[in-house]
Structure 1
Amino acid sequence: MEVFFRIIKFGLTGLLGMAIDFGATWLFKEKIKVNKYVANAIGFSLAVTNNYLINRVWTFQSTNVHWGTEFSKFLIVSLIGLGLNTFIIYLFHQRKNGTNFYVAKFFAIVIVFVWNFLANMLFTFK
Protein backbone atom coordinates (compact mmCIF):
# COMPACT_ATOMS: atom_id res chain seq x y z
CA MET A 1 0.00 0.00 0.00
CA GLU A 2 2.94 2.31 0.72
CA VAL A 3 4.13 2.06 -2.91
CA PHE A 4 0.63 2.96 -4.14
CA PHE A 5 0.65 6.19 -2.10
CA ARG A 6 4.18 6.96 -3.29
CA ILE A 7 3.02 6.60 -6.89
CA ILE A 8 0.12 8.99 -6.22
CA LYS A 9 2.44 11.52 -4.53
CA PHE A 10 4.96 11.19 -7.35
CA GLY A 11 2.22 11.79 -9.92
CA LEU A 12 0.85 14.85 -8.11
CA THR A 13 4.36 16.24 -7.81
CA GLY A 14 4.85 15.64 -11.53
CA LEU A 15 1.66 17.52 -12.35
CA LEU A 16 2.85 20.49 -10.30
CA GLY A 17 6.21 20.28 -12.04
CA MET A 18 4.50 20.30 -15.42
CA ALA A 19 2.57 23.43 -14.45
CA ILE A 20 5.79 25.10 -13.30
CA ASP A 21 7.58 24.06 -16.50
CA PHE A 22 4.84 25.38 -18.79
CA GLY A 23 4.23 28.49 -16.68
CA ALA A 24 7.87 29.50 -16.43
CA THR A 25 8.50 28.74 -20.10
CA TRP A 26 5.52 30.90 -21.09
CA LEU A 27 6.56 33.71 -18.73
CA PHE A 28 10.14 33.85 -19.96
CA LYS A 29 9.27 33.40 -23.65
CA GLU A 30 6.17 35.56 -23.96
CA LYS A 31 6.55 38.25 -21.29
CA ILE A 32 10.29 38.56 -20.67
CA LYS A 33 11.07 37.82 -24.35
CA VAL A 34 13.85 35.31 -23.73
CA ASN A 35 14.80 32.96 -26.58
CA LYS A 36 12.28 30.07 -26.68
CA TYR A 37 14.94 27.40 -26.13
CA VAL A 38 16.44 29.29 -23.19
CA ALA A 39 12.93 29.80 -21.79
CA ASN A 40 12.29 26.07 -22.18
CA ALA A 41 15.53 25.23 -20.36
CA ILE A 42 14.59 27.59 -17.52
CA GLY A 43 11.14 26.00 -17.22
CA PHE A 44 12.59 22.49 -17.24
CA SER A 45 15.24 23.43 -14.64
CA LEU A 46 12.73 25.02 -12.29
CA ALA A 47 10.40 22.03 -12.59
CA VAL A 48 13.19 19.50 -11.93
CA THR A 49 14.36 21.45 -8.88
CA ASN A 50 10.81 21.73 -7.54
CA ASN A 51 10.13 18.04 -8.19
CA TYR A 52 13.34 17.00 -6.46
CA LEU A 53 12.55 19.02 -3.34
CA ILE A 54 8.96 17.79 -3.05
CA ASN A 55 9.84 14.18 -3.85
CA ARG A 56 12.72 14.27 -1.37
CA VAL A 57 10.55 15.54 1.48
CA TRP A 58 7.05 14.26 0.71
CA THR A 59 7.14 11.27 -1.64
CA PHE A 60 10.29 9.44 -0.54
CA GLN A 61 10.97 11.16 2.83
CA SER A 62 14.71 11.08 2.25
CA THR A 63 17.07 11.79 5.13
CA ASN A 64 20.20 11.52 2.99
CA VAL A 65 22.61 14.23 4.15
CA HIS A 66 24.35 14.17 0.76
CA TRP A 67 21.58 16.09 -0.96
CA GLY A 68 23.92 17.35 -3.71
CA THR A 69 24.68 13.81 -4.83
CA GLU A 70 21.03 12.89 -4.46
CA PHE A 71 19.95 15.88 -6.57
CA SER A 72 22.54 14.94 -9.22
CA LYS A 73 21.05 11.45 -9.40
CA PHE A 74 17.55 12.94 -9.68
CA LEU A 75 18.73 15.24 -12.47
CA ILE A 76 20.33 12.35 -14.36
CA VAL A 77 17.11 10.31 -14.08
CA SER A 78 15.11 13.34 -15.29
CA LEU A 79 17.41 13.94 -18.26
CA ILE A 80 17.24 10.28 -19.26
CA GLY A 81 13.46 10.56 -18.96
CA LEU A 82 13.48 13.59 -21.23
CA GLY A 83 15.56 11.68 -23.78
CA LEU A 84 13.24 8.65 -23.55
CA ASN A 85 10.22 10.90 -23.99
CA THR A 86 11.63 12.42 -27.16
CA PHE A 87 12.73 9.03 -28.52
CA ILE A 88 9.35 7.39 -27.87
CA ILE A 89 7.49 10.25 -29.55
CA TYR A 90 9.85 9.97 -32.51
CA LEU A 91 9.31 6.19 -32.77
CA PHE A 92 5.52 6.36 -32.58
CA HIS A 93 4.98 9.54 -34.59
CA GLN A 94 7.63 9.50 -37.32
CA ARG A 95 6.74 6.15 -38.87
CA LYS A 96 4.93 6.26 -42.21
CA ASN A 97 1.28 6.84 -41.28
CA GLY A 98 2.55 7.21 -37.73
CA THR A 99 0.55 7.71 -34.59
CA ASN A 100 -0.92 11.15 -33.94
CA PHE A 101 1.68 13.34 -32.20
CA TYR A 102 -0.41 13.80 -29.05
CA VAL A 103 -1.26 10.11 -28.81
CA ALA A 104 2.46 9.37 -29.14
CA LYS A 105 3.16 11.97 -26.46
CA PHE A 106 0.61 10.33 -24.15
CA PHE A 107 2.33 6.94 -24.56
CA ALA A 108 5.68 8.60 -23.91
CA ILE A 109 4.41 10.27 -20.74
CA VAL A 110 3.07 6.98 -19.36
CA ILE A 111 6.27 5.07 -20.13
CA VAL A 112 8.54 7.83 -18.80
CA PHE A 113 6.42 8.18 -15.65
CA VAL A 114 7.06 4.50 -14.88
CA TRP A 115 10.78 4.94 -15.69
CA ASN A 116 11.13 8.06 -13.52
CA PHE A 117 9.27 6.55 -10.57
CA LEU A 118 11.18 3.27 -10.55
CA ALA A 119 14.57 4.87 -11.21
CA ASN A 120 14.05 7.41 -8.43
CA MET A 121 12.73 4.82 -5.97
CA LEU A 122 15.50 2.29 -6.70
CA PHE A 123 18.41 4.65 -7.49
CA THR A 124 17.98 8.22 -6.33
CA PHE A 125 16.14 7.74 -3.04
CA LYS A 126 17.01 4.09 -2.21
Structure 2
Amino acid sequence: MKETLTRIDSLMSGIYKDYMKFFKYMGVGVIGTAADWLVFYALIGLADIFYMYAVAVSYFVGMVINFFLNKHFTFNNKYKKVHFQFLSFAFVALIGLGLNEALLFAFVHYIFSSSSDLALMASRVIVTFMVFVWNFLANKHTTFKIFQ
Protein backbone atom coordinates (compact mmCIF):
# COMPACT_ATOMS: atom_id res chain seq x y z
CA MET A 1 0.00 0.00 0.00
CA LYS A 2 2.81 2.38 0.90
CA GLU A 3 4.54 1.67 -2.45
CA THR A 4 1.32 2.47 -4.29
CA LEU A 5 0.93 5.76 -2.44
CA THR A 6 4.56 6.63 -3.15
CA ARG A 7 4.04 5.91 -6.87
CA ILE A 8 0.86 7.99 -6.94
CA ASP A 9 2.64 10.83 -5.15
CA SER A 10 5.53 10.67 -7.62
CA LEU A 11 3.13 10.63 -10.57
CA MET A 12 1.15 13.58 -9.22
CA SER A 13 4.36 15.51 -8.59
CA GLY A 14 5.46 14.92 -12.19
CA ILE A 15 2.08 16.00 -13.54
CA TYR A 16 2.17 19.14 -11.38
CA LYS A 17 5.65 20.02 -12.69
CA ASP A 18 4.47 19.53 -16.28
CA TYR A 19 1.44 21.76 -15.70
CA MET A 20 3.60 24.44 -14.09
CA LYS A 21 5.98 24.35 -17.06
CA PHE A 22 3.03 24.58 -19.42
CA PHE A 23 1.60 27.60 -17.57
CA LYS A 24 5.00 29.29 -17.45
CA TYR A 25 5.40 28.56 -21.17
CA MET A 26 1.99 30.14 -21.74
CA GLY A 27 2.99 33.25 -19.80
CA VAL A 28 6.20 33.59 -21.76
CA GLY A 29 4.20 32.91 -24.91
CA VAL A 30 1.91 35.84 -24.12
CA ILE A 31 4.94 38.15 -23.91
CA GLY A 32 6.50 36.79 -27.10
CA THR A 33 3.15 36.86 -28.89
CA ALA A 34 2.53 40.46 -27.82
CA ALA A 35 5.91 41.45 -29.29
CA ASP A 36 5.18 39.39 -32.42
CA TRP A 37 1.77 41.00 -32.94
CA LEU A 38 3.01 44.53 -32.20
CA VAL A 39 5.74 44.17 -34.81
CA PHE A 40 3.29 42.50 -37.23
CA TYR A 41 0.72 45.28 -37.02
CA ALA A 42 3.42 47.98 -37.13
CA LEU A 43 4.80 46.45 -40.31
CA ILE A 44 1.44 46.08 -42.08
CA GLY A 45 -0.13 49.24 -40.67
CA LEU A 46 2.74 51.73 -40.59
CA ALA A 47 5.21 50.34 -43.11
CA ASP A 48 2.56 48.89 -45.48
CA ILE A 49 4.43 45.59 -45.81
CA PHE A 50 2.59 42.56 -47.28
CA TYR A 51 1.18 40.49 -44.41
CA MET A 52 2.98 37.28 -45.41
CA TYR A 53 6.37 39.06 -45.15
CA ALA A 54 5.35 40.89 -41.99
CA VAL A 55 4.41 37.66 -40.21
CA ALA A 56 7.86 36.17 -40.94
CA VAL A 57 9.69 39.16 -39.46
CA SER A 58 7.40 39.50 -36.46
CA TYR A 59 7.52 35.75 -35.77
CA PHE A 60 11.33 35.93 -35.60
CA VAL A 61 11.20 38.77 -33.05
CA GLY A 62 8.78 36.77 -30.88
CA MET A 63 10.94 33.66 -31.25
CA VAL A 64 14.09 35.35 -29.90
CA ILE A 65 12.20 36.74 -26.90
CA ASN A 66 10.56 33.36 -26.26
CA PHE A 67 13.88 31.50 -26.42
CA PHE A 68 15.62 33.51 -23.73
CA LEU A 69 12.60 33.71 -21.42
CA ASN A 70 11.83 29.99 -21.76
CA LYS A 71 15.47 28.99 -21.27
CA HIS A 72 15.85 30.93 -18.04
CA PHE A 73 12.32 31.11 -16.61
CA THR A 74 10.20 28.20 -17.86
CA PHE A 75 12.75 25.41 -18.04
CA ASN A 76 15.46 26.93 -15.79
CA ASN A 77 17.97 25.51 -18.23
CA LYS A 78 21.68 25.96 -17.40
CA TYR A 79 23.16 24.57 -20.63
CA LYS A 80 26.12 26.82 -21.46
CA LYS A 81 26.38 26.34 -25.24
CA VAL A 82 23.49 28.64 -26.01
CA HIS A 83 24.17 28.67 -29.75
CA PHE A 84 23.42 24.93 -30.11
CA GLN A 85 20.31 25.27 -28.04
CA PHE A 86 19.19 28.36 -29.96
CA LEU A 87 19.64 26.48 -33.25
CA SER A 88 17.39 23.69 -31.95
CA PHE A 89 14.84 26.25 -30.77
CA ALA A 90 15.09 28.08 -34.10
CA PHE A 91 14.56 24.82 -36.01
CA VAL A 92 11.38 24.12 -34.02
CA ALA A 93 10.33 27.74 -34.56
CA LEU A 94 11.06 27.48 -38.30
CA ILE A 95 8.67 24.55 -38.54
CA GLY A 96 6.23 26.59 -36.44
CA LEU A 97 6.66 29.51 -38.85
CA GLY A 98 5.89 27.23 -41.79
CA LEU A 99 2.77 26.05 -40.00
CA ASN A 100 1.94 29.65 -39.11
CA GLU A 101 2.30 30.87 -42.71
CA ALA A 102 0.39 27.95 -44.24
CA LEU A 103 -2.43 28.06 -41.71
CA LEU A 104 -2.69 31.86 -41.85
CA PHE A 105 -2.94 31.74 -45.64
CA ALA A 106 -5.55 28.97 -45.46
CA PHE A 107 -7.65 30.79 -42.88
CA VAL A 108 -7.51 34.16 -44.66
CA HIS A 109 -8.15 32.86 -48.18
CA TYR A 110 -10.22 29.70 -47.72
CA ILE A 111 -11.95 29.76 -44.36
CA PHE A 112 -12.77 33.46 -44.02
CA SER A 113 -12.35 34.19 -47.77
CA SER A 114 -11.34 37.73 -46.90
CA SER A 115 -8.20 39.67 -46.09
CA SER A 116 -10.11 42.26 -44.07
CA ASP A 117 -8.61 43.40 -40.79
CA LEU A 118 -11.16 41.34 -38.84
CA ALA A 119 -10.48 38.16 -40.83
CA LEU A 120 -6.75 38.70 -40.48
CA MET A 121 -6.99 39.25 -36.71
CA ALA A 122 -9.28 36.24 -36.18
CA SER A 123 -6.97 34.10 -38.30
CA ARG A 124 -3.91 35.21 -36.30
CA VAL A 125 -5.61 34.32 -33.00
CA ILE A 126 -6.66 30.83 -34.14
CA VAL A 127 -3.35 30.05 -35.83
CA THR A 128 -1.34 31.32 -32.85
CA PHE A 129 -3.02 28.83 -30.53
CA MET A 130 -2.53 25.97 -32.98
CA VAL A 131 1.19 26.66 -33.46
CA PHE A 132 1.65 27.28 -29.72
CA VAL A 133 0.81 23.63 -28.97
CA TRP A 134 3.35 22.42 -31.55
CA ASN A 135 6.09 24.71 -30.22
CA PHE A 136 5.55 23.73 -26.57
CA LEU A 137 5.65 19.99 -27.19
CA ALA A 138 8.60 20.14 -29.59
CA ASN A 139 10.70 22.39 -27.35
CA LYS A 140 9.84 20.48 -24.18
CA HIS A 141 10.94 17.18 -25.72
CA THR A 142 13.95 18.42 -27.71
CA THR A 143 15.45 21.86 -27.10
CA PHE A 144 15.18 21.95 -23.31
CA LYS A 145 15.45 18.20 -22.69
CA ILE A 146 18.36 17.18 -24.90
CA PHE A 147 20.44 20.27 -24.10
CA GLN A 148 20.58 20.21 -20.29
Shorter-chain TM-score range: 0.7 to 0.9
**Which is worse superposed, 109-118 or 1-10?**
109-118
Structure 1 length-normalised TM: 0.76
Percent of residue pairs bearing the same amino acid type: 29
Post-superposition shift, 1:121? 0.5
SS at the partner of 2:26? helix
C-alpha contact (below 8 Å) 2:93/2:135 kept by paired residues: yes
- CA distance in 2 between counterparts of 1:105 and 1:28 reads 13
1:25-79 superposed Cα distances (whole Å, 9 cap, x missing partner): 427973xx5x736765553333211110100001011111111000111111111
1:121 aligned residue = 140
Which amino acid in structure 2 is aligned with residue 71 of structure 1?
F
Alignment pair present for 1:58 and 2:77: no
Query: Number of matched residues?
Result: 121
Displacement of 1:92 in angstroms is 5.1
Task: State the superposition RMSD in angstroms.
Answer: 2.9
Structure 1 50/104 Cα, relative in aligned 2: closer, same or farther at 3 Å? closer
The TM-score with structure 2 as length reference comes to 0.66
Provide the C-alpha distance between the structure 2 equivalents of 1:121 and 1:114, rounded to a whole number of angstroms. Answer: 11
Question: Which of residues 35, 41, 49 in structure 2 aligns to 1:20?
Answer: 35
Question: Would the aligned equivalents of 2:55 and 2:101 in 1 still touch at CA under 8 Å?
Answer: no
Q: Give the match for residue 10 of structure 2.
A: none
